Amino acid sequence: MHQHGYEDDITYASFKAPATPRRRRRPVVVGAALAALTLVPLAADRVASARVESSTAKAFQQGMDTPERPEVHVRGFPVLTQLASGTLRHVDITAHDMPADGSARPLPVSRLDLALDGLSKSDDDTEALARSAEATAYLSYRDVSHALGLEVSQGTRPGRINASVPLPLGSEVTVAAAVSAVSGNRVAFTDFEVRGGTTAITRALLDKVFEDPVQVRDIPEGLHLRSVTPTASGLSARFSGKSVTFRPSGGSQSDTAQDNS
């Protein structure tokens, strides 16, 4: 009688073994092909994103007259689809050293952070439009001091600044003042506190120096000043608005616009 032994086990093993690598190789090949197909649109989208970020930075530099191109980041994927629709969903822009020419009391912006939603071009390509925007402008104490003609620094209490006011005969007093946002994208200084008391001469001098609020110029049209907060290095001014306009020729109308919102 024939006996079944190890020969049967060897025959079974030799039959099953070759099938295993064939089943494993196919998913690897398919996976590599899918990965290659995925990388092509990703690379194309990255190129499109880099190009639109570069062109936006160039246009913003020309419009805002900054010495260097700002940092621009287009958010959302895919960017190609956004470009095809004519509207970028969200764009972040950081610009530095925005000048404030044409003013008797210039107050330049040392840094401007913009968050734009729904950015598109006008039909004639002469301006860019954002459906809504939020911005924070940083105003250094050096620039604020130059605008006021006084040495300004952070106050000892929240929401206030200190200013050294020169008096006749070479003396000076330290004045604490509250900082607030008023219409027309202007910064006002009120509620004075003078160390050592207030004289008639000191009060008249303070009224003259702080009579007119200082305007933040060259802010894109449609942005309105909401609040001003003193920090260790300067004033942090928060803006927001809808239908915000950017013009390539540096033409911001916020200098004369009043905040009616």
| pLDDT digits (tens), the chain, 261 positions | 444 443 444 333 333 444 445 555 555 544 544 444 444 477 888 888 899 899 888 888 888 888 999 999 999 888 888 888 999 999 999 999 987 765 555 688 999 999 999 999 887 777 889 999 999 999 999 999 988 888 999 999 999 999 988 877 777 888 899 999 999 999 999 998 887 666 777 778 778 878 889 888 878 889 999 999 999 999 999 999 999 998 765 444 444 333 333
Contacts of 184 (CB under 8 A, 6+ apart): 213, 215, 256, 257, 258, 259
Q: In this structure, what token pair is assigned to residue 227?
A: 């609040």
3-state DSSP call for residue 230? strand
Cα 99 to chain centroid, rounded = 17
Query: Which amino acid is located at 158 in the chain?
Result: P
3-state DSSP call for residue 67? coil
Distance between CA 106 and CA 136 in Å, rounded?
18
DSSP letter at 70 equals P
